[in-house]
A = this chain, B = another copy of it.
Amino acid sequence: MALRTRDQYLSALKQMRPNIHKFGEVIEDVTTHPVTRRVVESHARGIDAAHDPKLADIFSTKSSLTGEVIHRNSSLMTSPEEMIYNSKFKRKMYHLTGSCTGGLCVGWNGLNVMWSVTSEVDAALGTDYHARLKEWGLGFQKKGLIVCGALTDAKGNRKLKPHQQADLDHNVRIVERRPDGIVIRGAKHMICGVAAADEIFVLPGSGYGEADKDFALVCVVPKDIEGLTIVEARRPSDSRELEQGFDIPTETGITQAYLLFQDVFVPNERVFLAGEFQYTASILTRFTATYRACIGACVAGQGDVMVGAAALIARANGLSAKAFRDKLTHMELNNETTFSMGVGAIALGKMHPSGVWLADSLTGHANKILVATLPYETKRLCQEVGGGIVETGCMPSYADFTSPDYGHLIQKYLKAGAGSAETRARVARLIEWLTIGAGVPGCMHGGGSPDGARMVVFGASPLEEYAGYAHSLAGIQEDLPEPAK
């Protein structure tokens, strides 16, 4: 069985040890608890999609290892075309769910990046990480798992390296090496889609030197592994998820969790790096190149939904969507920009000898900078089309909308153009959710900050080569070096 069904997926989640918390309480069943049911539904739609004939080309593929049909999120991307499907997959997931792809994103990328890196580590150091990874990967494909990924450490003081922190646990680290595995401690913060995942791909949060070798670790753990406590973070207007009615109008959503590893034992077969610090830079570089190429598709996909929602609210207000043609075109331009720029970064990539495709780092990171800016503009335009009720969701609550005393008046006065008062309120709530509510994905800092991307763009651009072109074109006969300090 490679293509798991929704039912199989949900019952797997139900059987896990309850170790997820929010609002001070443990969540017994993530598939039904109001705090997590939406993120589970999002992922379930990603599973359904692999069974949908219209979407199967995006959501499933043949395994390069076994030839069997598998869910695409467990595939090795062995060509630019297959990596472009990563982008298409994410854009479509946003169409289906309105928000972040979560657990269908990072584990996939982690498998691919570590596929290339473990082959190098093994070749250089005689380790057997690649074989372990392949074995685990075959299970990933066969069981049709959802594997979220955890990079961002708690970090502590941003000026200091991991081993310089007053509290060494601020970055996840190996506290004990045993013959049969390692013991890890520390925290990973703001991890997407954990509640809906089967397993967690743990990756280093930065590139490390020798002094930080205990932080150079890669492994995959079951979500409910002993010693792991998970606490879900808040999101804008998240308390509404506990309420009745349509003030959160979607059945879908995303979550971000804090993972607290308290001396968790990970057996060797799930460990894919343990101290080989000199490979952490490659892991980061390759991970972020692909991630930042493809994240352009995420914000494009959410932008598409905003375009559609803007059209709907115009009509609900009594106007034609075409009256906002300029703004809609601008939103569409933003969407296509980050999407196709990311596809360009993929096409400009190269094949790794291990057989997986690597996206281009320079243009992938350039894309991330736009991902951190253009969606703010798209949201603003969407709010501008929608009017005051969408800007800050400025409508009475569902409880007021249905009040026996004055609910009829709220409804009387919210009715405007096409559709009922409820329809108008639902569209407005959707735009609120997308632009200033729980549906806003953390795309500016997700996968690293834009300033980090700017550093890569500056560092990877060949400044002296470009200076040489100018030098030659201007007919200059002498050197023009940087001034001495």
Distance (whole angstroms) from the CB of A275 to the closest CB of chain B: 23
Tell me whether A458 and B325 are in contact in the complex, defined as CB-CB below 8 angstroms, given that A320-B482, A380-B376, A413-B187 are known contacts. Answer: yes
Contact partner of A384 (CB less than 8 A), chosen from B319, B412, B449, B465, is B449
Inter-chain CA distance A403–B258, complex, in Å, is: 14
Inter-chain CA distance A458–B331, complex, in Å, is: 10
Contact B475–A250 (Cβ < 8 Å): yes
Residues in B with CB closer than 8 Å to A414 are 154
Contact A23–B397 (Cβ < 8 Å): yes
In this complex, what residue of B is CB-closest to A404?
B24
CB under 8 Å from chain B, chain A span 300-334: 304-309, 311-312, 315-322, 325-326, 328-329, 332-333
Tell me whether A427 and B319 are in contact in the complex, defined as CB-CB below 8 angstroms, given that A394-B235, A416-B155, A457-B332 are known contacts. Answer: no
Contact A440–B446 (Cβ < 8 Å): no
A86 interface residue (CB < 8 Å to B):
no
Tell me whether A373 and B380 are in contact in the complex, defined as CB-CB below 8 angstroms, given that A235-B393, A387-B449, A388-B189 are known contacts. Answer: yes
Contact partner of A466 (CB less than 8 A), chosen from B80, B169, B307, B377, is B307
Inter-chain CA distance A228–B328, complex, in Å, is: 39
In this complex, what residue of B is CB-closest to A327?
B451
Contact B413–A445 (Cβ < 8 Å): no
Contact code string A434-477 (vs B, CB < 8 Å = 1, else 0): 00110011101110011100100110010111111111011111
Residues in B with CB closer than 8 Å to A467 are 307-309, 311-312, 321
Residues in B with CB closer than 8 Å to A232 are 396
Residues in B with CB closer than 8 Å to A328 are 458, 461, 463
Residues in B with CB closer than 8 Å to A477 are 423
Q: Please list 9 pairs of residues, one from A and one from B, whose beta carbons are closer than 8 Å in the complex, sorted by A's number.
A: A157-B416, A233-B393, A236-B237, A239-B243, A258-B413, A312-B467, A336-B363, A340-B367, A427-B476
Contact code string A236-271 (vs B, CB < 8 Å = 1, else 0): 111110010011011110001010101000000000
Contact B400–A23 (Cβ < 8 Å): yes
A328, A370, A423, A437 — most chain B CB neighbours (10 Å): A423
A240, A347, A403, A481 — most chain B CB neighbours (10 Å): A347
Residues in B with CB closer than 8 Å to A449 are 384, 387
Tell me whether A363 and B376 are in contact in the complex, defined as CB-CB below 8 angstroms, given that A167-B412, A236-B437 are known contacts. Answer: no
Contact B419–A478 (Cβ < 8 Å): yes
Inter-chain CA distance A173–B234, complex, in Å, is: 44
A190 interface residue (CB < 8 Å to B):
yes
Contact B329–A457 (Cβ < 8 Å): yes
Inter-chain CA distance A387–B479, complex, in Å, is: 21
Inter-chain CA distance A189–B393, complex, in Å, is: 12
Contact partner of A308 (CB less than 8 A), chosen from B251, B320, B444, B470, is B470
Contact A318–B158 (Cβ < 8 Å): yes
Distance (whole angstroms) from the CB of A434 to the closest CB of chain B: 9
Inter-chain CA distance A460–B190, complex, in Å, is: 37
Contact code string A92-106 (vs B, CB < 8 Å = 1, else 0): 000111100000000
Residues in B with CB closer than 8 Å to A160 are 318
Contact A362–B347 (Cβ < 8 Å): no
In this complex, what residue of B is CB-closest to A156?
B416
A348 interface residue (CB < 8 Å to B):
yes
Contact partner of A483 (CB less than 8 A), chosen from B97, B235, B315, B392, is B315
Contact code string A321-358 (vs B, CB < 8 Å = 1, else 0): 11001101100110011011111111110000000000
Contact A236–B481 (Cβ < 8 Å): no
Tell me whether A458 and B329 are in contact in the complex, defined as CB-CB below 8 angstroms, given that A154-B413, A315-B480, A322-B482 are known contacts. Answer: yes
Q: A235-B394, A304-B466, A347-B347 are in contact. List 17 more A-B contacts (CB 8 A).
A: A21-B400, A155-B416, A189-B413, A231-B410, A232-B396, A233-B395, A235-B393, A258-B413, A312-B474, A312-B476, A315-B480, A318-B483, A333-B454, A343-B344, A376-B380, A423-B476, A423-B478
Contact A397–B344 (Cβ < 8 Å): no
A98, A243, A260, A483 — most chain B CB neighbours (10 Å): A483
Contact A332–B417 (Cβ < 8 Å): no
Residues in B with CB closer than 8 Å to A362 are 336
A133 interface residue (CB < 8 Å to B):
no
